[in-house]
Structure 1
């Protein structure tokens, strides 16, 4: 059970821990004895946290990581039985809403993979903007090993890495376990860090992301991610319209002015 501070609904403790550092929301999955396998309650709470973060002007970027030796071992297998007992309409109605993309959050996100990332944990790797990992990380999709179809995770991963690598993970299950170096070569992650340097680097990246124009970076991310849902010509049209609409935003004038005046820009939230 997680507890939120009544005075600040973004601050949580329990199976999910959050803290605000400068303008960065740090989210930690906190079931280390279960390698941070996610319960239904955790999935629901993550949706709440990402939704609130998107609405909160204090937050300009986010970092997600895990506590202990694991990043996220996927969904708690115990929850599969409860899902199987529901009728099909109930199951279809329970659309997942536990990542930034699923709730329509466009603030920059950093995924710091500190250990094993398996099954549903791959949602975070596919949906967050920048993914880095420690030398202790490993990536595998174990759905077929427990008799489950894997679909949403590999569909998302196929946008980040070669299809052949994704299909090996789908078909071979736990026998296909990517090392950090293999994940880097497959473009699943962009950096490998020593374990004790992972969070420092994640926070460094998050602070840089928090320093740019919030409106500009969110509009940019919305255009890039949204382009996957449409034909190329439509995507270019959508991107152009985003650029033109932003020209009326105060940050679009503030950026050039600050550059010419050799001062730090004063962005609007």
Structure 2
């Protein structure tokens, strides 16, 4: 099956290693292989790519929540069995163009990462690439790559934009012996909130609901302006941000609908989000 075939399947099932459900404008994506601690297998990688593309193309969905099944792990990293299998065809089993994280798949809408339990190795992709992360009070974060003879490159590049470089290097170099607790992750800015594990899903749903209530167009343009600052210098990013701000304020109906709804004491009626692809 080619990538285009995978993408064209959209958000409808069946799913082998994901659970995908809609809750109004919120899309819940659950990595569903708890027996393997939700390790990213070739099957899960392809399904994640498919779900990100489908989510970004669906105008009725305004925010996605990513979580792992079970209580032990959010994601234990890449499937070690597949990584160690030298006979596998690397261009098919792990397709280098099949992007399993939202940023690499080009998602233009918000994604909330919800870490329950262990987040290791490739699981850190999601922490680095989602808009923000919350975690349970029993969550831990660890980069095991070098401890099993693998190069750690992609995840720490993303993490270095969020937390101090020294903390990233310590995780990479110390490997499996450096486990960052939930509290330490909060102190570093790796997560924005630590939640009791039995309240994690409820809190994630509350946050997602608040995000979904905002203007989809204003949120998408805000994300574009902010992320632009991570790849350009401040002056260029500010100039780009001003252009985006003025274009929205002068031409998009949501810019008038928001204040009008506020003064009329009613919920705003946002314009449908147009496909940016």
TM over 0.5: yes
Are 1:259 and 2:268 counterparts?
Answer: no
- Partner of 1:98, secondary structure, is coil
Unaligned runs of 5+ in 2: 1-5, 273-277
Return the offset for 1:106: 2.2
Match of 1:206 in 2: 208
Match of 1:186 in 2: 188
Q: 2: CA distance between counterparts of 1:165 and 1:227?
A: 22
Return the offset for 1:96: 5.1
Counterpart pick for 1:29 among 28, 31, 37: 31
CA contact (8 A) 2:17 2:43 kept: no
Q: 1: CA distance between counterparts of 2:123 and 2:82?
A: 15
Q: Spell out, residue by residue over 1:163-220, the C-alpha distance to the aligned partner (whole angstroms, 9 max, x if none).
A: 1111100100000000101101111011111111000000000000000000001111
Are 1:226 and 2:228 counterparts?
Answer: yes
Return the offset for 1:140: 0.2
Are 1:239 and 2:241 counterparts?
Answer: yes
Counterpart pick for 1:147 among 126, 146, 149: 149
Q: Spell out, residue by residue over 1:42-70, the C-alpha distance to the aligned partner (whole angstroms, 9 max, x if none).
A: 11211111111111012111100001111
Q: 1: CA distance between counterparts of 2:166 and 2:10?
A: 45
Unaligned runs of 5+ in 1: none
Return the offset for 1:117: 0.2
Match of 1:162 in 2: 164
- Partner of 1:97, secondary structure, is coil
CA contact (8 A) 1:10 1:53 kept: no
Q: Spell out, residue by residue over 1:64-119, the C-alpha distance to the aligned partner (whole angstroms, 9 max, x if none).
A: 000111100001012223578658x9999814511221122121211110110000
Q: CA RMSD in A?
A: 2.3
- Partner of 2:150, secondary structure, is coil
Scaled by the length of structure 2, what TM-score is found?
Answer: 0.89
Q: 1: CA distance between counterparts of 2:22 and 2:92?
A: 36
Q: Which shifted more, 255-264 or 136-145? A: 255-264
Match of 2:78 in 1: 75
Q: 2: CA distance between counterparts of 1:233 and 1:128?
A: 25
Q: How many residues align?
A: 264
Return closer, same or farther for 1:130/1:234 CA change in 2, 3 Å cut-off.
same
Return the offset for 1:246: 1.3
